[in-house]
Copies of this chain bind each other. A is one copy, B any other.
Amino acid sequence: MYTIGVDIGGTSIKAGVVDEKGNITLSLQIPTKNSPNACIESIINLIKELIEKSNLTTNQIKGIGFGFPGMVNSKTGVVDFLPNINGWENIDFSSKIENAFGVKVKITNDANAHTLAEQKYGSAKGANNVVMLTLGTGVGGGVIIDGKLYEGEGSKGTELGHTTLILGGNKCGCGRKGCLEAYVSTTALINQAKEQMLENKDSALWHLCNNNLATLNGKIFFTELNNGDKTAEKVFDKYIIYLSEGLLNFCNIFRPEIIVLGGGISAQGKVLTDKITKYCKDNYYGLTGAPEVKIVTATLSNDAGIIGASALI
């Protein structure tokens, strides 16, 4: 038997057939259409094509899982709202796919799908209690408890980026001030670097930016960090404190076996995790003998969406 995983993104939709070991046997990609109806039609066609090209019948498909970039209700199968795709508000999604294929359909958000993928086949394989934080434009979260994805009422929990780091601090996209997301997202890191560049006109960051602050991005920042630029180092040291304090909260709240960091910034690997692990070790709640939380970066980057969505089944 096979499952199908579909990773819905703002610009493209990727779907793959996944075998029982978590391997993608075939995957296809299409651009994201600009209305929910057109989008759903294209998704149905994409899945049909995937099944045909794999020489399978729907009888061999155990179910289809979807990861969405926004808010969904996994119980009702309704997509509540996708901030970056036009028109997706309160769309009764799962039933349409179920009607088209006659198989089980499950939906979740992309951070949850990625968390599930890491726990089933990636860096958190075999762990029963897992916390994942995705450090991208925003900060997403996923939590696995007793081997099962935890989503909260109406699938509205595990919004780990929207927890206070500094009450009344930087404005967050969610409307509150001082959320973790406002300090540890890529956007936040770039803003922190820009502020420091303005105070340090001799930073090598200016050179790679062609003296244009607006062109600073994560790649430039980490290039100069690894080159030893003092301004980049100063920014990163502060960033490590923000991120570690956020992770310490999740250690004290969940005391999971493992925390997985995903998203663009996680590509830094041990540059990131070595410092954070030390900070957390020094500051956990409890005695020194309390179990340590392993902190690692995600290993399934590009395929995590498909694999995680398929793992919902």
Residues of A with Cβ closer than 8 Å to B? Answer: 71, 80-81, 129, 141, 145-146, 148, 150-154, 156-160, 162-167, 174-176, 241-242, 245-246, 248-249, 252-257, 283, 285-287, 289-291, 293
Q: Would A80 and B289 count as touching, CB distance under 8 A? A: yes
Which of chain B's residues have a CB closer than 8 A to the CB of A167? 165-166, 241-242, 245
Which of chain B's residues have a CB closer than 8 A to the CB of A293? 153
Task: From the candidates B157, B285, B291, name the one contacting A159 in the complex (CB within 8 A).
Answer: B285
**A11–B242 alpha-carbon span in the complex (Å):** 40
Q: Would B287 and A249 count as touching, CB distance under 8 A? A: no
**A165–B168 alpha-carbon span in the complex (Å):** 10
New contact pairs (6) apart from A151-B255, A152-B256, A164-B164, CB-CB < 8 Å: A153-B291, A156-B255, A156-B286, A157-B255, A163-B252, A167-B245
Jot down 16 A-B pairs with beta carbons below 8 A, ordered by A: A71-B286, A71-B290, A146-B148, A154-B290, A154-B291, A156-B291, A157-B256, A158-B254, A159-B253, A159-B255, A159-B285, A160-B252, A162-B249, A164-B165, A165-B167, A253-B253
Copies in the complex: 2
A158 CB to closest chain B CB (Å) equals: 7
Main secondary structure of the interface of A (DSSP, over half): loop
**A176–B255 alpha-carbon span in the complex (Å):** 17
Which of chain B's residues have a CB closer than 8 A to the CB of A81? 287
Which of chain B's residues have a CB closer than 8 A to the CB of A254? 152, 157-158
Q: Would B256 and A159 count as touching, CB distance under 8 A? A: no
Which of chain B's residues have a CB closer than 8 A to the CB of A175? 283
Which of chain B's residues have a CB closer than 8 A to the CB of A129? 152-153
A5 CB to closest chain B CB (Å) equals: 25
**A286–B245 alpha-carbon span in the complex (Å):** 24
A277 CB to closest chain B CB (Å) equals: 15
- Report the nearest B residue to A290, measured CB to CB: B156
**A80–B162 alpha-carbon span in the complex (Å):** 33
Q: Would B290 and A255 count as touching, CB distance under 8 A? A: no
Q: Would A157 and B252 count as touching, CB distance under 8 A? A: yes
Which of chain B's residues have a CB closer than 8 A to the CB of A164? 164-166, 245-246, 248-249
**A293–B163 alpha-carbon span in the complex (Å):** 16
Which of chain B's residues have a CB closer than 8 A to the CB of A256? 152-153, 157
